[in-house]
Structure 1
Amino acid sequence: MVRPPGPDRPLYIRIAMSLKARILAGTYQPAARLPGEEELAAAFGASRSTIRQAIADLRQAGYVVSQRGSGTYVCAELPIEPLSPRSGPVYTGFLDDLDDEAHHVHELHRSRRSVTADAALAAQLRIPVGSPAVRFQGTRVRDGRVYGVAIDILPPHVADRMDATLLDRCPTIGDAMEAVGYRARESLQRVEPTALDATTARLCNGSPDEPALAVTGVAYGADGTPLDAYTLIVTRGYGIGLHLVRASERETP
């Protein structure tokens, strides 16, 4: 899904996204001072003007504030909720990669049901505990090949605008969200090794306990409002997925 920006992006954007990842992962805490321009320029192998562009991008997005004569500081309140520290790597970025994937992916056997928000889901979607939400699940297919199961949990005000006709013509829930005016602009997600349970294995033509990846996160709209708490289980053999699972298994004591 969302990956750090690639080499085709301008250097200042790649630097801004790298700094944002460190902020959201807790390396730079709220209200903490960022390293100075000279130090960042040396660390990233960039000019100070490029660093200034990156800082300006973060400042415009609401992640940092600059104080004349003092430096640049992480905002006390961030536009999106940082993830609590756990075992998996954290990825941040604009949803360009997800948009690109949507041109090649569709979902089969999509289901829809109402759920009640527990404490974790309520925190993700910023809704009261016990509030209703709508859970979609579909088997993901890319280029004719099943590669995983997607679960998207949306607030009712988003999901209720998606009728059956719209859902039938939209390859993913992300497409359906955009079609009704809720385009996800930014996402924070975690990638961790997991194993297929019996239900997911059946949907993916795999075997129970087979290694897989769990991509979990929250997608946010342009105003920073959570739109989608999602999980994507990626099966064995899907490119980087299997590679990351194996790497994680080797690092486990």
Structure 2
Amino acid sequence: MKNRRPVRSAPLAKIGRASLDRPLPPLYYRVSRTLEQRIRDQHSRVGDRLPSEDDLCREFGASRITIRQAVGRLVEQGLIVRRRGSGSFVSAVKEPRAATPSKFTGALEDLFAEVKAVRTKSAEIVEEVPPAEVRVLLGLGVQETVAVVRRVRTFRDRIFSLSTNYLPRSLGAQLSESELYQYPLLQLLEEKLHVTFRYADQTVEARLADEDVARALDVNFGDPVLFVERLMFAEAARPVEVVRSYYRADVYRYQIRLVRSRKAPFHWRLHDDVR
């Protein structure tokens, strides 16, 4: 497993057509989309001050005019408010939704069926300090590192997903990148490392592709993608793994069946037998 320190992303202005192999939207639009995603992901909260124009110019390799256009777009959306002499501040964010109980449609075997139908195009295993929200989910210390498995996968020879798995280092140390091309990670964890998963909490939401996701999935910057986060639990309700996946909207479809309850006519439930 490789050690890797966080690195600063290349300025958006330096990412040209060759990186995505297709024309990019105007720079102000890409900057605006990136800032918007940060706000909606709650990296910036209501009342937080945006970085100064100079800081944004340096971060994105853009001119003041471009940054003003980008921020102006957020003002029009109601996400940012300008205060003369003080700067720009976050005025609205996406409200977090309360989690509701859910379960796999069927059993864990359904996950095996899903991942066995795809192929791995690229894979790596590195050791990193995880994002704060992942650290909280796994109950880790502030500077504690984890094994990070990143894969780009294909379905019927089309790029399908970008997945990042966060695992304890003890598990990551027993995996090799070559194995990831031969077997699904879920299968390796259960059959090779003898991790028995009991249940998982999963959230699904629509997001906009940032530069890294767009490059990996071969889509345009700002295109809609499906984001799925899964927290996997082993015995004794012990959280073991966080899986974050981005799926191409034109390739992946999420489908469930809701069955009307006989006891409560206005209540619907997930049908357990759907595959």
Q: What is the DSSP-based 3-state SS (H/G/I as helix, E as strand, rest coil) of the residue aligned with 2:189? A: helix
Task: Measure the CA separation in 1 of the matches of 2:196 and 2:98.
Answer: 29
Query: What's the CA shift string for 1:99-138, capped at 9, x where partnerless?
Result: 1112212222112221114542222112222211011111
CA contact (8 A) 1:88 1:191 kept: no
The reply to whether residue 159 of structure 1 matches residue 196 of structure 2 is: no
The reply to whether residue 214 of structure 1 matches residue 214 of structure 2 is: no
Query: Any stretches of 5+ residues in structure 2 without a counterpart?
Result: 1-94, 256-275
Cα deviation for residue 95 of structure 1 reads 2.3
Superposed counterparts of 1:1-253, under 5 Å: 86=97, 91-93=102-104, 94-170=107-183, 172-178=184-190, 179-241=192-254
CA contact (8 A) 2:120 2:153 kept: yes
Q: Structure 1 196/133 Cα, relative in aligned 2: closer, same or farther at 3 Å?
A: same
* Residue identity in the other structure for 1:153: Y
Q: What is the DSSP-based 3-state SS (H/G/I as helix, E as strand, rest coil) of the residue aligned with 2:222? A: coil
Task: Measure the CA separation in 1 of the matches of 2:99 and 2:207.
Answer: 11
Query: What's the CA shift string for 1:80-104, capped at 9, x where partnerless?
Result: xxxx952887742342321111221
CA contact (8 A) 1:90 1:190 kept: no
Counterpart position of 1:67: none
Cα deviation for residue 174 of structure 1 reads 1.6
Q: Structure 1 120/103 Cα, relative in aligned 2: closer, same or farther at 3 Å?
A: same
CA contact (8 A) 1:186 1:222 kept: no
What is the percentage of aligned positions where both structures have the same residue? 17
CA contact (8 A) 1:218 1:230 kept: yes
Q: Structure 1 154/99 Cα, relative in aligned 2: closer, same or farther at 3 Å?
A: same
Query: Any stretches of 5+ residues in structure 1 without a counterpart?
Result: 1-83, 243-253
* Residue identity in the other structure for 1:127: L
Q: Structure 1 218/140 Cα, relative in aligned 2: closer, same or farther at 3 Å?
A: same
* Residue identity in the other structure for 1:157: S
Q: What is the DSSP-based 3-state SS (H/G/I as helix, E as strand, rest coil) of the residue aligned with 2:162? A: strand
Q: What is the DSSP-based 3-state SS (H/G/I as helix, E as strand, rest coil) of the residue aligned with 2:236? A: coil
Deviates more, 1:88-97 or 1:181-190: 88-97
Q: What TM-score results when the alignment is normalised by the length of structure 2? A: 0.51
CA contact (8 A) 1:184 1:222 kept: yes
Counterpart position of 1:34: none
Q: What is the DSSP-based 3-state SS (H/G/I as helix, E as strand, rest coil) of the residue aligned with 1:92? A: coil
Q: What TM-score results when the alignment is normalised by the length of structure 1? A: 0.56
Task: Measure the CA separation in 1 of the matches of 2:120 and 2:177.
Answer: 14
* Residue identity in the other structure for 2:185: I
Cα deviation for residue 176 of structure 1 reads 2.2
Task: Measure the CA separation in 2 of the matches of 1:87 and 1:213.
Answer: 19
Deviates more, 1:131-140 or 1:161-170: 161-170
Q: CA RMSD in A?
A: 2.7
CA contact (8 A) 2:207 2:224 kept: yes
CA contact (8 A) 2:160 2:252 kept: no
CA contact (8 A) 1:90 1:189 kept: no
